[in-house]
Amino acid sequence: MADPAVSVSPYWELTFDADGDVDGRERDRLLAEVPRRAVRDLIVFAHGWNNDRSGATRLYSQFFAPVPGLAPHARVGYVGVVWPSMRFSDEPIPDFPRSVAADVPADVPAAARTALDKDTRHALLEVFPGRATVVEQIARLLDQQPDEGASLEEFGRLVRLLVEVPPQGPQAAFAADTLAEGGPQGDPAMLFGHTATVCGEFAEALAGMTAPGETFSLPRPWDGARELLRQATYYAMKRRAGTVGERGLGSALGRLATAAPGVRVHLVGHSFGGRLVSFALRGLPEGVRTVKSVTLLQGAFSHYAFAASLPGDPGASGALHGQQSRVDGPVVCCYSHFDMALGTIYPLASRMADDDRSVLGVDPGHLLGARWGAMGHDGVQAVEGTKTFTLADALRAQLPVSGCVNVDACAVVNRGGPPSGAHSDICHRELAQLVLAAGRVR
């Protein structure tokens, strides 16, 4: 198997399917070559929103590029995790090629803005194989927008069918804590409530995120229909991230600990990839202590995931309560208030997944203070002893040797427009330096 074109070496990839099953040849190659190449520190990076392997590889190549210069004497190896997730074509990644579909002029009709473009259709077919008819029906309704009654309800039914709610197979175990981690059990209410109401709430949220130069228009429920599809897709991706992390990556790291007991593993995850590497801690075999650091970049999961008890519900705990103790080092959470995806849409979707009460008129700042906030917007919450640094201070100081650490990274994570803002603005030398500092890689 030829190595992908990346900026660093030695580099390996680990590919997982939606149920967390790994490509056996890639795994066996990693287990054989890590000890043979005398790797001491292995950085394992899991992507978040990506459409394909080439996009993931490009991300890894760009993020890893500064590492050899930052740690010239370290024996570092690199792993890129590839798993079936997607991003919509209107979510540009800074410094990456934009999809043509993302460059929609500001003066086009609203219906054209909410239509399902060719790139997004292709991505949906790749991530949800066997659902071609459903994707085409969804695309037709978004194109035509025939009415705001029965057609929107049919749209909601098709979205549920696409993302398989309720889920089957191994992913079913990860559905209950997907959007409201540690909260009420069951499937997301946003997919079972009145579709026109849910879409209307998303439309209002999006109307407040217009980019400079765009004109404001009164939102219609159909204006939020594409966002319902996006959030339902992300619900499925978060579900998969937990599955792949615990059933797949956690198990693979256990095997690696046996094959190369001296290797020091440093987990890095972006967006849902942060959830993936965090759930890998839950899948580590008993006694494995090879994970020396975890760095979460704009993590798209609950800021209470590691909490022993949830504020307002002390009898409940986060889905990853206590898992930071599986790390022989710190869990570093980078966040930025420039992340629109996690600052506005994530808490709105999470609240609607938790119950079907209207959130119109609720101040987004209040939402962020409640249990529906995301790691990548305001850091780890309700975990005793968590330290907070600016990025500059974190790079100057000696980071804590254990526990949770919040790092405000808005000094570099600040580029990007609606709907995601700076969510994917993570390829910075300073963040690569932070990964090395967290793991004490020298």
pLDDT of residue 366: 43
CA distances from 102 to 89, 346, 418 (A): 6, 21, 11
Top pLDDT among 362 and 133 is at: 133
pLDDT of 304 > 70? The answer is yes
Tens digit of pLDDT for each residue in 413-433?
Answer: 999 887 788 999 999 999 999
pLDDT of residue 357: 32
pLDDT of residue 418: 76
Average pLDDT, the chain: 84
pLDDT of residue 77: 98
369 Cβ contact partners less than 8 Å away, ≥ 6 residues apart: none
Tens digit of pLDDT for each residue in 58-100?
Answer: 999 999 999 999 999 999 999 999 999 887 766 666 665 554 3
pLDDT of 3 > 90? The answer is no
Distance of CA 212 to the CA centre of its chain: 27
pLDDT range class, residue 358, cuts 50, 70, 90? very low
> What mean pLDDT is predicted for residues 24-32?
98
> What mean pLDDT is predicted for residues 302-306?
92
pLDDT of residue 365: 43
Report long-range pairs for 207-212 (Cβ below 8 Å, ≥24 apart): 208/344, 209/340, 209/344, 209/418, 209/419, 210/418, 211/106, 211/417, 211/418
Top pLDDT among 226 and 108 is at: 226
pLDDT of 338 > 80? The answer is yes
Top pLDDT among 359 and 109 is at: 109
pLDDT of 213 > 70? The answer is no
Tens digit of pLDDT for each residue in 239-273?
Answer: 899 999 999 999 999 999 999 999 999 999 999 99
The pLDDT > 70 percentage for the chain reads 79
Tens digit of pLDDT for each residue in 103-142?
Answer: 444 444 444 456 788 888 988 998 888 999 999 999 999 9
Tens digit of pLDDT for each residue in 158-203?
Answer: 999 998 866 667 766 665 554 344 333 455 677 777 898 889 888 8
> What mean pLDDT is predicted for residues 366-378?
68
pLDDT of 439 > 50? The answer is yes
> What mean pLDDT is predicted for residues 192-218?
73
pLDDT of residue 7: 96
Residue 268 CA neighbour count, 13 Å, CB half: 26
Contact 383/405 with Cβ under 8 angstroms? Answer: no
Which pair of tokens denotes residue 10? 């030695």
What string of H, E and C letters represents the secondary structure of the chain? Answer: CCCCCCCCCCEEEEEECCCCCECHHHHHHHHHHHHHCCCCEEEEEECCCCCCHHHHHHHHHHHHCCHHHHCCCCCEEEEEEECCCCCCCCCCCCCCCCCHHHCCCCCCCHHHHHCCCHHHHHHHHHHCCCCHHHHHHHHHHHHHCCCCCHHHHHHHHHHHHHHCCCCCHHHHHHCCCCCCCCCCCCCCHHHCCCHHHHHHHHHHHHHCCCCCCCCCCCCCHHHHHHHHHHHHHHHHHHHHHHHHHHHHHHHHHHHHHHHCCCCEEEEEEECHHHHHHHHHHHCCCCCCCCEEEEEEECCCCECCCCCCCECCECCCCCCCCCHHHHCCCEEEEEECCCCHHHHHHHHHHHHHHHCCCCCCCCCHHHHHHCCCCEHHHHCCCCCCCCEEEEHHHHHHCCCCCCEEEEEECCCCCCCCCCCCCCCCCCCCHHHHHHHHHHHCCC
Report d(CA 56, CA 45) in Å as an integer. Answer: 10
